């Protein structure tokens, strides 16, 4: 069987170099892929940095006295949409004289309580949970996506080089 006239076999080493209408120029495609790769890599660094910081944070128990309470409206989202919802917030007086606000339904004004101060100075009613498998999987996924995008953009750039 012979090839139809005007067509080349799929195994031909020739590259398609003609511009196809409706497609962006290959150089623009390469530039956009490189930009997306850089943004994705920066996001990967930020996600890994934040997750690692939460995993390595220490929380020191501190005695505090609850001195005030108030209600704050926060935006809460669920499957039906988002809406403002009131949350009870208490102000605690720390042993060193500082004050901090924290969300609590259990602490009453005038009571002494043990709160937890992080390395960054944030105060919590109980120590936050460490990052779990989901957070670390997200980090790995973002890194993998950045690597794949880098490989694709390098491939597109290499295809732009003239054949010698």
The predicted-structure confidence for 141-163, as pLDDT tens digits, reads as follows: 999 999 998 888 888 888 877 75
* 58-128 fold: OB fold (Dihydrolipoamide Acetyltransferase, E2P) (2.40.50)
Name the nearest CA neighbour of 71 among 81, 58, 85: 85
Q: How many CB atoms lie within 10 A of CB 128?
A: 13
pLDDT at position 16 is 58
Q: Which residue has the tokens 């660094």?
A: 45
Q: Name 103's bridge partners.
A: 89
- pLDDT tens digit string along 23-40? 788 788 888 888 998 998
Q: Is the pTM of this model over 0.75?
A: no
Structural tokens at position 156 = 């597109």
Runs of H (alpha helix) within 1-68: 26-56
pLDDT mean values, one per 10 residues, the chain (164 residues): 56 60 80 89 92 91 90 89 91 88 87 88 88 93 90 84 66
DSSP conformation class of 132: -
Rg of the chain on CA atoms, in Å: 28
């Amino acid at each position: 069987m012979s090839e139809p006239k005007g067509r080349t076999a799929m195994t031909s080493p020739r590259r398609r170099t003609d511009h196809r209408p409706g497609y962006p120029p290959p150089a623009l495609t390469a530039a956009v892929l490189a930009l997306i790769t850089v943004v994705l890599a920066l996001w990967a660094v930020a996600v890994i940095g934040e997750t690692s910081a939460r995993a390595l944070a220490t929380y020191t128990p501190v005695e505090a006295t609850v001195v005030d309470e108030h209600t704050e409206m926060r935006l809460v989202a669920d499957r039906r949409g988002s809406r403002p919802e009131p949350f009870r917030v208490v102000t605690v007086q720390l042993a060193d004289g500082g004050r901090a606000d924290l969300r609590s339904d259990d602490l009453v004004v005038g009571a002494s309580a043990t709160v937890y101060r992080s390395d960054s100075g944030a105060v919590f009613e109980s120590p936050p949970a460490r990052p779990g498998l989901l957070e670390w999987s997200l980090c790995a996924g973002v890194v993998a996506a950045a690597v794949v995008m880098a490989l694709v953009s390098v491939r597109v750039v290499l295809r732009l080089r003239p054949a010698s």
